[in-house]
Amino acid sequence: MMAVAAADLPRKRRLLATLGAGAVIAAFFVSLVLTCIHLLRLERQLTPHPGESVVWLASQAQYEAMRTLDMVVRRVAGDPEADEAAVQLRYDVLLSRMAVLREGRPLLRVQQTGLEETMEQQLAAVAGLEPAMLSLQPEERAAEAMIRAALHAAAGFLRELANRVLLEDQQNANTLRQARGQAVAEILFYVVGVLASGMLLMLVLVRQRKAQIRAEASLEREREVSRLHRAFVSMVSHQFRTPLAIIDSSAQRMIRRGTAMPPEEVFSRAGKIREATRRLTRLMESTLNAARLEAGEINMAPRETDLAALVREVCGHQQEIAPAALLEQRLDGLPARLRCDPTLVEQAVANLVSNAVKYSPPGSPVVLRGLTGPGGSAVLEVVDQGVGIPADELPRIFDRFFRARTAEGVTGTGIGLAFVRHVARLHGGEVTVTSEEGKGSTFVLRLPPAPPPAGGAQAGAKEAALA
């Protein structure tokens, strides 16, 4: 059930990420639509208003009314230039000016002022002057008075219309400015919303993509580790069978021969059994180290250690296992004392030395060179003239369960070098390698004079417990 729940967790996270991305996209489009709506509304507000044209038309009509009255007065006074044709011309222009107010957008604006009925009355009154205008003669004072009254009334109406439209337009302009300011503020708000939504969407998509890349990388690592682990198990099981077969065959031989077996053969068979037992022990240690590395259960117990003596002891054990090995020890350059975990360091050095011996041809020396590095750190070089490591595999040589192509046919688990690197890093140090295929390898183990603070605190607690 726990495995199922763990498997469901990434799926739930992907679902939440998808829902979040969908919400951001929806917010983005809503903000975009609202912005477009407000832009259209602002466009309508910015459309030219007919108020200015009505003021101009009313002013022109008022001016023509006064010019027509002036022509009528001159006609009655007997001015020869104010003949019948001149009066008719002025009258026709007045009618055309006033008729324009009854059409299209000007009429709509007049209706908004509420003066449409009054305008119709004035137009009718002016239009009714036509008979009097056509028959007007000099000295007709009564006709002049009638025409004067009608034209004065029309001019007064036109003046009132222009003033009212102008006043209302000023009020509308103030309202429009406020509306424009509000519309611009709203548009800016929605534009910012669109930009924020876009940035949030990009952030969600980028994070989702990064999470996907991490998941794919993690899955690939898991597959690689699983493959290497299967190869490790297969290899270890095969290598366990070899020493067990040696032990079994030697024991059977000794049982069958019993006391008839000469001492030399007994000694030889017992030696084979011991060698096979040592091999099984090393395989068991490698297997246990693999499990401890997997579980992260390798801890430190540092104390003052004679590193040179420790390396010499490792070389002595290696000589017992491989008497033909040539180990040249140049350890005088190591610091006299070093605070480290001697058990872990001993296993790490043993791995480096046994690897150098395994992969070196018979009779080829393995050189162990000790140096003192900056700040009193210890530097141990293990140099062999063996098969070397291919250049393309050097970056993976410290990975768990990894074995180079040149290691085929040589017993091993692929755990030793990973264990060495883990031990070095627990001490705050590092292990590096330089190698050339067919010409040998140089492994360099660097250990600082003291462990890092976290490791030191943990080690101190372990030492106290052991004490």
CA distance 68 to 147: 10
Name the average pLDDT for the chain: 78
Q: Would you say residue 187 has pLDDT above 80?
A: no
Mean predicted confidence (pLDDT) in 349-362 = 88
User: Is the pLDDT confidence value at 391 over 70?
Assistant: yes
Q: Are 282 and 240 in contact (CB under 8 A)?
A: no
When comparing pLDDT for 274 and 100, which is higher?
100
* 81 closest CA partner among 138, 25, 122, 152: 138
Q: Which band of pLDDT confidence, cut at 50, 70 and 90, is reported for residue 352?
A: very high
Give the CA count within 13 Å in the CB-facing half-sphere of 310: 25
Contact 339, 303 (CB under 8 A): yes
What CATH number should be reported for the domain whose range is 301-466? 3.30.565.10
- Under a CB-based contact definition with an 8 Å cutoff, are residues 326 and 366 in contact? yes
Provide mean pLDDT across the span 49-76.
82
**Span of 61-75, 279-293, 411-425 with lowest mean pLDDT:** 279-293
> What CA–CA distance (Å, rounded) separates 352 from 416?
8
415-418 long-range contacts, CB within 8 A, separation 24+: 415/232, 415/286, 415/287, 415/289, 415/290, 415/293, 416/286, 416/351, 416/354, 416/355, 417/351, 417/355, 418/293
Q: What is the structure's pLDDT at 251?
A: 79
Cα separation, 215 vs 5, whole angstroms: 17
- Distance between CA atoms of residues 433 and 183, nearest Å: 70
- From 374, 373, 381, select the one nearest 349 (Cα to Cα): 381
* Residue 426: exposure state from Cβ atoms within 10 A (0-12, 13-18, ≥19): buried
- Partnered with residue 383 across adjacent β-strands are 367, 442
Q: What are the DSSP calls for 371-391, one per residue? A: EE-GGG-EEEEEE--SS---G
Average pLDDT over residues 411-415: 67
* pTM higher than 0.85: no
> Range with the lowest mean pLDDT among 77-86, 107-116, 402-411?
402-411
With a cut of 60, say whether residue 438 has pLDDT above it: yes
Give the dihedral sign, CA 242/244/245/250: positive
404 pLDDT more than 80 = no
CB contact at 8 A, 75 and 126: no
Which position has the token pair 């009313």? Answer: 58
Q: For residue 464, what pLDDT is reported?
A: 32
CA distances to 65, 138, 432 from 82, in Å: 16, 10, 120
For residues 375-399, average pLDDT: 89
Q: What pLDDT, on a 0 to 100 scale, did the predictor assign at position 4?
A: 41
Which residue carries 């046919």 as its tokens?
A: 409
Confidence of residue 312 (pLDDT cuts 50, 70, 90): very high
Residue whose C-alpha is closest to residue 350's, from 389, 321, 393? 321
pLDDT at 5: 45
pLDDT classification of 44: cutoffs 50, 70, 90: low
The domain spans of the chain are 1-231, 232-288, 301-466
- The predicted pLDDT at position 380 comes to 94
